[in-house]
Chains A and B, each alone.
Chain A
Amino acid sequence: MPGKMEADYFCSLIYIRLITVSIVEDIEDVRNGLAGIIRMSDGFTVLHSFASAEEALPALMESPPDIVIMDINLPGINGIDCIRQARMKNPRIQFMMFTIYENSDTVFEAIEAGATGYLLKNSSPAKIVESLKELYDGGSPMNAEIAKKLVMRFQKQASIQNDFHLTPKEHEVLELMSKGYLYKEIAVELNNTVNTIKQHIRHIYEKLHVQNKAEAINKVFLK
């Protein structure tokens, strides 16, 4: 596979560890275009690129990348199921949804399934790279709509079990996010840096994932 070879190549050249990225995208031109963009960016290497989830899953388990860019509308197993399955086996992999429309319900579903970020297909190459870096650094992208859904989700959760995992700060971030505040504005409001805010968001995602996992385990046990 060409992807694997290239990664090896980068690893040998650069001191710092390259961020390994896998791409799952069914359209070949896009897949290649995206791979090209990432490959040309400093500090990144494309570990794999797959046209389907079926193809991707075993490979991802075998040699997990840092980040998987995952298209949602895949033939066969869709992106969300793929994330879910992969996360079950290896929770350390960061999944980044690759989507045309950031407000679609599927984005939230994917986040629930375990994705920690999303990437608009329309983003400029620079933005793509920036998003990847951010994700790798522990930040997560979020928008008002996702925040709203998350708030609802956590409220629902809170009413079921008292154990509320969000810290007050995270809670505040989520509230402001849901009201449409930008990172910059939230940072000013909460007297923090944008990065901190992003990390808060990542934590929120992770807590969501832990909860989801607990639920899933409960479901298994109950069966």
Chain B
Amino acid sequence: MPALKLICVAAFMTLAGYQAFSQDYPFIKYTPKDGLINNRVRNFYQDSKGRIFITTANGLSVYDGARFLNYTVDDGLGNPLVNDVLELSADSLLIATNTSVLNVWVQGSIKVVKTKNNFCPVINRFYRDKNNTIYVASDQGIYRFEKDIFTPINIKAHDGNTATSFEEIQDIGNYLWLKRADLTFRFSNLLLIHKETFKSHPFPLDGYVTCALPLKEEQLLLVIANSQLLSLDLKAAEHGLVKYKKLPSRFRHLTKLSLHKIIIDRYHNIWGLTSNSVIRLMQDGKLQIFDKSNGLDVSNIRSITIDNENVLWILTDGSGILKLVNRNVEILSSDIKAIYIDSSGKEWMLGTSDQYLYCSYDDQVQKWRLNSDAGFGGLAMRKKLLLLFDNNSIYQTEPVQQVNRLSVKKIYSDNIEPINYSRAEIGENDNIYIPGHSLTVLNSENIVTRIRLPAYADQLSLDKHQQLWAVSRAGDLLCYQINQDKAADPLTLKFTDKLSIQQPRAIAIDKTGKIWIGTRYDGLYCLEYSNKRIVSKRQWTTANGLTDNFIYHLICDDNNVIWAGTQGGLDKISASGSVVESITRNNNIFQVIYKVMIGKKNDVWAAAIGSIIRITNDASVASDYQPQLQIVRMMSAEKSFPILPDQAVLPSKTRELTFDVAAPSFIDEKRVRFSYMLEGNEEGQWSPPAPEASFRFINLPPAKYTLHIRAVFPVAHYKTQELVYHFTILPPWWNTWWFRTLLIAFFLIVIVLLIKAYYQDKLKKQRLNFEKQQAIQQERTRIAMEMHDDLGSGLTVIRYLAGGLVSNTLPLIKEKALKIETSAKQLVDNMNDIIWTIKSDNNSLSDVLSYIRKQAADMLENVGIDYEFDFPKHPGDLILTNEQKRNILLISKEIVHNVVKHSRATKVLIKAEQNGDIFRLWFSDNGKGVGNGFSSHFGNGMKNMQQRATQIGGRIEIQNNKGTTVIVTIRLA
């Protein structure tokens, strides 16, 4: 179908030569090559999170802008043919496949809904009424689905038969329209039932209804058998009558098209579908047609949908899905060399290959043959006279009339520099201003004035104060006052400034007087002057959303929006500067835009090399949608974890984690950029924004984590979205606090038990040892005592017998008897000593001391040696061993014995001292001293004493100090 763009079909038919302006819409196609599961698309559903569910003849695709998640029978679908999808709640959608199984899609995985009675019809369509009750149109009839059970709703058809099979259920006012699938074409397949009562109305309509659409005034628009368009009177239908009303006039344009479907979108636009075209019926009855001629090159169009973002999706059976983001963006054919929009809004175009001039106005196109051989490159309009340019000359046509030919005459030639004709500006006074090394002014009388510029200027800008602005590549900002009356002196330099901006290439003055400067390398600047001084300066580059930093051309439209033609495309900058939108890139168009013009109704025309892009000022394209940033999947080692709303707790062996995120926006999903920051044990850092919508984290130690995700959108009015998600990787069980506590407790108990066992064992051994020792001791004491008693008695007898002989007169006998007596006494004394040491109740130091005292006293008293004791008054309770006791006693006895025997002393001082475990005994006599007579004094006794002292860890010293002092030092304990 031929079309410029919006063409009244009737007017269009009267024109010839239109082929010159073929035009394309930037459709984007999704097929299995792009990830879609199957080319045969059946239905389209957008859930509350913005994802689109695409049902196909062989599975389900879920597209979130970042990826297609595909589901087949292998993933749990009951049947490859997916009929319909219905959202129950976020992340939970019912899926009807062409079998008696109801599936549910929950957080990315397919499950089977178990009904209570194990019955599920073959569902063709879901319907949810305003009370949130779900009905299904199925091969087995209409059912209400509540509380996991399908309840049949009995519906009698008008022909009296029970209708059993339905393929469609739709809401029409108080009624539901059911499309029966169990009938032939002979009867109407349309069944109207009351919404509340589910009563059907007898409805003897002939013909097969392919589509029905409620209109206002209780009319139902019917498409009968793919051709007839009828308006049914619903009021009459309620009474069982078939009455047709006059088709509203705006629908008449649709009657001649063989539509199979009519759709009203969410913005109340009416769309008609044929198998290979999509027609939009505008409010004024005009049609916008999408077909092969303007980029929609598909067949078997099944349906269309307008999504949340006002993107048009076209579903095809066999060619996948197509999307058209901005229906108001068109690429006019590459056959147009130049375009000019005059002050009345007429679009003048110069053909590429021929000498034709076209004018489009009010959807009418006129065409003229130019009567010249010159190779025109540009055009403009002055005083209803068309100006044509080539590199060296300016030509003017005769007044444009309704004739086929226009004659052309040269009005100016420039021999100094080529004419920058694409940048020529026509002033209100019909002056022509051309930038370049000089500013060339051609007044209405074609008198030329050349003003030398400091450097080459690429663009001029006229403001509403009769001023002409220019910026040179060297950064000179020049402002000229236009002198209306002085033909010879058309411009007066009013203001100049040297900008600190490198390589300016474009200039525009907006409605508020701000100066916008486009540059070669540094993007766009906005300068605000006050009293000839810059008071504010802002800059935009690709970092702020520009398609390119090389700005060719700038213009300000009626709404004070700045349009920038760049090396990469066309950008739209709101006057506040806060919104930068790349119109061309969003539509997958990448072209150098060297000139931008504002047309009638504020349409924008952008001249690219070899083609023209038009952006219609279409309010219906706008939407207030904001995409939702979401986590789609959380996976570790191929295993998917549920995305819990608050926070996820992951098992300890999780070392690696992949997050798939999405922010469903289909305007330019490839340019949605994501960044993330993971905070765990360490501070995180935002990753640079990238289109990659999958974040993989490796070597994650067990900890609490917070994942921040950010999405930045290429659509200017979409706010940057942020999402925070908490997750915890559990420590391994052997690393948890309770396990550690238990472990410590266990070890403590074991240690305590071991210590206890050790000490008990030791105590037991000690006790046994002690008992044994005691038993030995007792036995020893007993033996000793018995021997002592016996021997003692015997010795006593001997003594007394010898004593009897002492009085004998024979000296020999007397002497022997005395010796016997003495020996016996000595023996008994020694035995007493031994017994004393053996007895266990004399073990303290104090006992030993008192024994020494008594022993020494006895011995010394017998021989009349004076003695003195200096013993501690309170000797400690130190316990001595038998060995210590015995040796100390024997040493002491030996020393006293020596004193008695050898010292010739008259006095002895015996001193004892205990200091800690050191025990010392001093025996100081006033006798002759040891001196030379050492051996005689001590003799072998000394050796024995030393031995005894050594045995118990002591030593003996002998000092000669006015007598003899023997010092016994023993370490007790």
| Chain A residues positioned under 8 Å from B795 (CB to CB) | 122
Q: With A30-B800, A124-B825 in contact, do A100 and B836 touch (Cβ < 8 Å)?
A: no
A121 to B846, CA, bound (A): 27
Determine if B789 and A73 form an interchain contact, defined as CB atoms under 8 angstroms apart. yes
Report A28-65 CB contacts with B as 1/0, cut-off 8 Å: 01101110110000000000000000000000000000
A102 to B855, CA, bound (A): 13
A27 beta carbon closer than 8 Å to chain B: yes
Q: With A37-B803, A101-B792 in contact, do A29 and B797 touch (Cβ < 8 Å)?
A: yes
B869 beta carbon closer than 8 Å to chain A: yes
Determine if A101 and B832 form an interchain contact, defined as CB atoms under 8 angstroms apart. yes
B839 beta carbon closer than 8 Å to chain A: yes
B804 beta carbon closer than 8 Å to chain A: yes
Determine if B854 and A30 form an interchain contact, defined as CB atoms under 8 angstroms apart. no
How many whole Å from B857's CB to the nearest CB in chain A? 5
How many whole Å from B507's CB to the nearest CB in chain A? 123
Interface size on B (CB < 8 Å)? 32
A143 beta carbon closer than 8 Å to chain B: yes
Determine if B854 and A144 form an interchain contact, defined as CB atoms under 8 angstroms apart. yes
Closest Cβ neighbor of B825 among chain A residues: A122
Report B794-836 CB contacts with A as 1/0, cut-off 8 Å: 0111011101100000000000000000000100110010011
| Chain B residues positioned under 8 Å from A37 (CB to CB) | 803
Q: With A180-B850, A180-B853 in contact, do A145 and B788 touch (Cβ < 8 Å)?
A: no
Determine if B796 and A30 form an interchain contact, defined as CB atoms under 8 angstroms apart. yes
A3 beta carbon closer than 8 Å to chain B: no
Determine if A27 and B793 form an interchain contact, defined as CB atoms under 8 angstroms apart. yes
How many whole Å from A28's CB to the nearest CB in chain B? 9
B842 beta carbon closer than 8 Å to chain A: yes
Determine if B850 and A122 form an interchain contact, defined as CB atoms under 8 angstroms apart. no
Partner of A103, one of B800, B804, B836, B849: B836
Determine if A122 and B796 form an interchain contact, defined as CB atoms under 8 angstroms apart. yes
Q: In the complex, how many residue pairs between chain A and chain B have their CB atoms under 8 Å apart?
A: 81
A166 beta carbon closer than 8 Å to chain B: no
A138 beta carbon closer than 8 Å to chain B: no
How many whole Å from A78's CB to the nearest CB in chain B? 13
How many whole Å from A177's CB to the nearest CB in chain B? 9
Determine if A36 and B836 form an interchain contact, defined as CB atoms under 8 angstroms apart. no
| Chain B residues positioned under 8 Å from A185 (CB to CB) | 869
| Chain A residues positioned under 8 Å from B705 (CB to CB) | none
Partner of B828, one of A100, A144, A184: A100
Q: Which residues 132-155 of A have a CB within 8 angstroms of B?
A: 143-145
| Chain A residues positioned under 8 Å from B919 (CB to CB) | none
A185 to B854, CA, bound (A): 11
Q: With A100-B793, A101-B788, A122-B829 in contact, do A29 and B800 touch (Cβ < 8 Å)?
A: yes
Partner of B801, one of A29, A103, A121, A182: A29
A190 to B687, CA, bound (A): 101
Partner of B797, one of A30, A102, A103: A30
Determine if B789 and A100 form an interchain contact, defined as CB atoms under 8 angstroms apart. yes
A89 beta carbon closer than 8 Å to chain B: no
Determine if A34 and B800 form an interchain contact, defined as CB atoms under 8 angstroms apart. yes
| Chain B residues positioned under 8 Å from A143 (CB to CB) | 854
B851 beta carbon closer than 8 Å to chain A: yes
Of A33, A122, A185, chain B has the most CB atoms within 10 Å of the CB of: A122
Closest Cβ neighbor of A37 among chain B residues: B803
Closest Cβ neighbor of B829 among chain A residues: A122
Report A175-192 CB contacts with B as 1/0, cut-off 8 Å: 000011110110000000
Partner of B846, one of A36, A73, A124, A180: A180
Closest Cβ neighbor of B841 among chain A residues: A145
Q: With A36-B804, A182-B853 in contact, do A121 and B796 touch (Cβ < 8 Å)?
A: yes
A180 to B857, CA, bound (A): 11
| Chain A residues positioned under 8 Å from B799 (CB to CB) | 33, 121-122
Closest Cβ neighbor of A124 among chain B residues: B825
Determine if A145 and B797 form an interchain contact, defined as CB atoms under 8 angstroms apart. no
A101 to B832, CA, bound (A): 6
Closest Cβ neighbor of A147 among chain B residues: B850
Closest Cβ neighbor of A98 among chain B residues: B796
| Chain A residues positioned under 8 Å from B789 (CB to CB) | 73, 100
Closest Cβ neighbor of A127 among chain B residues: B862
How many whole Å from B555's CB to the nearest CB in chain A? 123
| Chain B residues positioned under 8 Å from A36 (CB to CB) | 803-804
How many whole Å from B559's CB to the nearest CB in chain A? 117
Determine if A33 and B803 form an interchain contact, defined as CB atoms under 8 angstroms apart. yes
Report B780-794 CB contacts with A as 1/0, cut-off 8 Å: 000001001100110
A121 to B795, CA, bound (A): 10
A29 to B788, CA, bound (A): 19
A101 to B799, CA, bound (A): 16
Closest Cβ neighbor of A145 among chain B residues: B842
| Chain B residues positioned under 8 Å from A32 (CB to CB) | 800, 804
| Chain A residues positioned under 8 Å from B873 (CB to CB) | 179
A37 to B802, CA, bound (A): 13
How many whole Å from A98's CB to the nearest CB in chain B? 9
Q: Which residues 843-892 of B have a CB within 8 angstroms of A?
A: 846-847, 849-851, 853-854, 857, 869, 871, 873
A125 to B803, CA, bound (A): 9
| Chain B residues positioned under 8 Å from A144 (CB to CB) | 847, 850-851, 854
Determine if B828 and A121 form an interchain contact, defined as CB atoms under 8 angstroms apart. yes
Q: Which residues 81-123 of A have a CB within 8 angstroms of B?
A: 100-104, 121-122
Determine if A121 and B853 form an interchain contact, defined as CB atoms under 8 angstroms apart. no
Q: With A36-B804, A73-B789, A182-B857 in contact, do A100 and B796 touch (Cβ < 8 Å)?
A: yes
How many whole Å from A168's CB to the nearest CB in chain B? 18
| Chain B residues positioned under 8 Å from A104 (CB to CB) | 785
Report B620-634 CB contacts with A as 1/0, cut-off 8 Å: 000000000000000
Q: With A30-B796, A122-B829 in contact, do A179 and B850 touch (Cβ < 8 Å)?
A: yes
| Chain A residues positioned under 8 Å from B797 (CB to CB) | 27, 29-30
A184 to B873, CA, bound (A): 16
How many whole Å from A76's CB to the nearest CB in chain B? 17
Report B484-525 CB contacts with A as 1/0, cut-off 8 Å: 000000000000000000000000000000000000000000
Partner of B792, one of A33, A121, A179: A121
A30 to B854, CA, bound (A): 26
A180 to B850, CA, bound (A): 4
| Chain B residues positioned under 8 Å from A184 (CB to CB) | 857
Of B800, B846, B849, chain A has the most CB atoms within 10 Å of the CB of: B800
| Chain B residues positioned under 8 Å from A179 (CB to CB) | 846, 850, 873
Determine if B804 and A33 form an interchain contact, defined as CB atoms under 8 angstroms apart. yes
| Chain B residues positioned under 8 Å from A145 (CB to CB) | 842
How many whole Å from B34's CB to the nearest CB in chain A? 109
Determine if A180 and B825 form an interchain contact, defined as CB atoms under 8 angstroms apart. no
A102 to B873, CA, bound (A): 24
Closest Cβ neighbor of A36 among chain B residues: B804
Determine if A100 and B803 form an interchain contact, defined as CB atoms under 8 angstroms apart. no
How many whole Å from B867's CB to the nearest CB in chain A? 9
How many whole Å from A126's CB to the nearest CB in chain B? 10
| Chain A residues positioned under 8 Å from B788 (CB to CB) | 100-101
Q: With A33-B804, A36-B804, A124-B825 in contact, do A100 and B854 touch (Cβ < 8 Å)?
A: no
A101 to B801, CA, bound (A): 20
| Chain A residues positioned under 8 Å from B846 (CB to CB) | 179-180
Closest Cβ neighbor of A185 among chain B residues: B869
Residues of A whose CB lies within 8 Å of any CB of B are 27, 29-30, 32-34, 36-37, 73, 100-104, 121-122, 124-125, 143-145, 179-182, 184-185
17 residue pairs bridging A and B, Cβ less than 8 Å apart = A29-B797, A30-B800, A32-B800, A32-B804, A33-B800, A100-B796, A103-B832, A103-B839, A103-B842, A121-B796, A122-B828, A122-B829, A144-B847, A145-B842, A180-B847, A184-B857, A185-B869
Residues of B whose CB lies within 8 Å of any CB of A are 785, 788-789, 792-793, 795-797, 799-801, 803-804, 825, 828-829, 832, 835-836, 839, 842, 846-847, 849-851, 853-854, 857, 869, 871, 873
The 7 closest A-B pairs by CB, nearest first: A180-B850, A33-B800, A100-B792, A144-B850, A122-B828, A121-B796, A29-B797
A103-B839, A122-B796 provided; 6 other pairs, C-beta below 8 A? A29-B797, A30-B793, A30-B797, A101-B792, A121-B792, A179-B850
